[in-house]
């Protein structure tokens, strides 16, 4: 599942442009690889995140994984629903399982992310 | 990487494979929580080929077992099993294992896959008198069936009266036409059986058990759920909760250390620890909502690093974060509090009684 209205990172995050803001999350592929997600450490409101740098942590039963910011900017919304029910990220990674909203600092960064087609190819070569 | 006789079967069934102790093993099939819950409520099937099986036989077998393990193998009846640590003279733990007593001249020792060579060399170096000591790990298949429905499912494949086998006892007999050891043991905190048979029968046994259990909720279970199941039941994982750096007294395994049987490897040191106390002790704790405790995280009390988490997880059964860790004895009482450092932040933890989960006996 690779929705056409998103762009992607090689680390399996997605980003969807909504005006000046970008909604971010992890892809279906990432959620499946992680397995049952039990905790998501979402950055606080106002946190400045930098493209390609750690913006949060996702824990499954078995593993702890960093989540990287697809774009630079300020965190302007957090999905508090996944703090109460982290399994939403497994169930609906592109919808109810979104993680945060970032106010875009540099629109060119968004343009440079992988297209759905590029990401599909990336997943295909990730060995699965 | 070595393969178990079932590695290809796991892969074909869609399991995610990992390397564990040198073997290609399934870490999960459908999901850790789903598999965990199946074992707690119905039944789960585990491929445990990787475990080590050593046979110690001969006139001096009992004497040698008594020397290397902390449990009392003389007090065991024939066909009874003991869980036991195996220590060095300094009290440190070489491994934990199951001792199966056939009679005073015949024992089966079942050891952890990750310690197989270390254990074999260690035991061999300790033996004396007239005995034979053999490693049958490569030719021994081992499948566990665990959960409240385990007995009902297994009974469909055997004429042995399973009800008559008590917990931590075994018998031998045919299951699905294959002669094997039927052992009422496990590493999940549930009722269940571990079956030892010729390795080449593995696939046949696996399929027969799955077929017998298909209307009883039996599912294959990977290493991921095996770890969460054993932790809820406070069963030790060597390399995490016990190691070369810990003793059975520190790990609160006093019940497995039988001083009354006479001297054995580690007995002097362990007796002193039992009498004078230890500087660290293994406790179980819970944490609030948030990140889970994990192996290796530091434990703090009043700003000082005083211990370490040895195992931790979000407990699928209890729906909360639980862990085991070594702390100074001043923090061992129930309701004692300390902090666990997770990615640079401190999170409160509270000592609670263990096992975290105990099954209801006799449904």
- pLDDT tens for B22-51 read 999 999 999 999 999 999 999 999 999 999
pLDDT at B307: 98
Q: Which residue of B has its CA nearest to A87?
A: B33
- Which residues in chain A have Cβ-Cβ distances shorter than 8 Å to B291? 39, 41, 57, 59, 64
Do A62 and B294 make contact, defined as CB atoms within 8 angstroms?
Answer: no
pLDDT at B361: 73
Q: Which residue ranges of chain A lie beneath pLDDT 50? A: none
pLDDT at B226: 98
pLDDT tens string B321-332: 999 999 999 999
pLDDT tens string B126-183: 999 999 999 999 999 999 999 999 999 999 999 999 999 999 999 999 999 999 999 9
In this prediction, residue B268 has a pLDDT band, given cuts at 50, 70 and 90, of very high
pLDDT at A127: 61
Instruction: Indicate if the pLDDT at residue B102 is higher than 60.
Output: yes
pTM reported for the whole predicted model: 0.95
- Residue B343 in contact with partner chain A when CB distance is under 8 A: yes
- Residue A35 in contact with partner chain B when CB distance is under 8 A: yes
pLDDT at B360: 84
Helix (H) or strand (E) holding A29: helix A28-34
pLDDT at B363: 47
pLDDT above 70 coverage of chain B, percent: 99
Instruction: Indicate if the pLDDT at residue B223 is higher than 80.
Output: yes
Nearest to A61 among B228, B289, B343 (CB): B228
Domain B2-49+138-232 has CATH 3.30.420.280: no
Q: Which residue ranges make up each domain of chain B?
A: 2-49+138-232, 279-351
Task: Extract the tokens encoding B348.
Answer: 């409160």
Residue burial B200-237, b: 16+ Cβ < 10 Å; e: rest: ebbeebbebbbebbeeebbbbbbbbbbbbbbbbbbbbb
Q: How many CB pairs under 8 A join A and B?
A: 37
Instruction: Indicate if the pLDDT at residue B362 is higher than 90.
Output: no
ipTM score for this prediction: 0.88
CATH top-level class for B279-351?
Answer: mainly beta
pLDDT tens string B286-303: 999 999 999 999 999 999
pLDDT at B2: 95
Mean pLDDT of B259-285: 98
Distance CA B178, CA B141 (A): 12
């Amino acid at each position: 599942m690779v929705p056409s209205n998103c762009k992607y990172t090689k680390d399996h995050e997605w980003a969807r442009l909504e005006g000046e803001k970008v909604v971010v999350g992890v892809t279906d592929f990432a959620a499946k690889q992680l397995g049952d997600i039990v905790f998501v450490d979402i950055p606080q409101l106002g946190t400045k995140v930098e493209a390609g740098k750690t913006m949060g942590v996702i824990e499954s039963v078995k593993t702890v994984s960093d989540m990287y910011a697809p774009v630079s900017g300020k965190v302007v919304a957090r999905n508090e629903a996944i703090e109460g029910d982290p399994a939403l990220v497994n169930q609906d990674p592109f919808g109810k399982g979104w993680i945060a909203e970032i106010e875009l600092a540099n629109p060119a960064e968004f343009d440079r992310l992988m297209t759905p087609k590029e990401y599909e190819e990336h997943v295909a070569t990730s060995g699965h | 990487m070595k393969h178990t006789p079932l590695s290809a079967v796991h892969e074909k069934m869609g399991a995610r494979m990992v390397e564990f102790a040198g073997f290609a093993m399934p870490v999960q099939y459908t999901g850790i929580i789903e598999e965990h819950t199946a074992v707690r409520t119905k039944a789960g099937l585990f491929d445990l080929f990787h475990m080590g099986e050593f046979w110690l036989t001969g006139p001096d077998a009992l004497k040698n077992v008594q020397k290397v393990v902390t449990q009392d193998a003389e007090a065991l009846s024939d066909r009874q099993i003991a869980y036991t640590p195996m220590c060095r003279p300094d009290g440190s733990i070489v491994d934990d294992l199951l001792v199966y007593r056939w009679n005073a001249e015949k024992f089966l020792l079942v050891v952890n896959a990750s310690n197989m060579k270390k254990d074999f060399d260690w035991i061999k170096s300790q033996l004396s008198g007239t005995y034979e000591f053999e490693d049958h790990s490569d030719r021994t298949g081992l499948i566990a069936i665990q959960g409240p429905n385990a007995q009902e499912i297994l009974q469909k494949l055997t004429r042995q009266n399973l009800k008559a086998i008590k917990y931590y006892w075994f018998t031998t007999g045919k299951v699905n036409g294959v002669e094997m050891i039927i052992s009422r043991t496990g590493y999940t905190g549930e009722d269940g059986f571990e079956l030892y048979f010729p390795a080449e029968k593995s696939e046949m046994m696996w399929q027969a058990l799955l077929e017998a259990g298909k209307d009883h909720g039996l599912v294959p279970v990977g290493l991921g759920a095996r770890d969460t199941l054993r932790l809820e039941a406070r069963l030790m994982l060597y390399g995490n909760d016990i190691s070369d750096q810990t003793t059975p007294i520190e790990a609160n395994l006093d019940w497995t250390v039988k001083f009354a049987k006479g001297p054995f490897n580690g007995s002097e040191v362990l007796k002193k620890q039992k009498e004078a106390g230890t500087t660290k002790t293994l406790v179980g704790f819970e944490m609030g909502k948030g990140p889970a405790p994990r192996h290796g995280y530091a434990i703090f009390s009043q700003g000082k690093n005083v211990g370490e988490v040895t195992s931790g997880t979000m407990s699928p059964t209890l729906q909360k974060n639980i862990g085991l860790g070594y702390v100074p004895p001043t923090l061992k009482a129930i309701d004692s509090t300390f902090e666990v450092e997770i990615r640079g932040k401190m999170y409160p933890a509270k000592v609670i009684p263990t096992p975290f989960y105990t099954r209801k006996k006799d449904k």
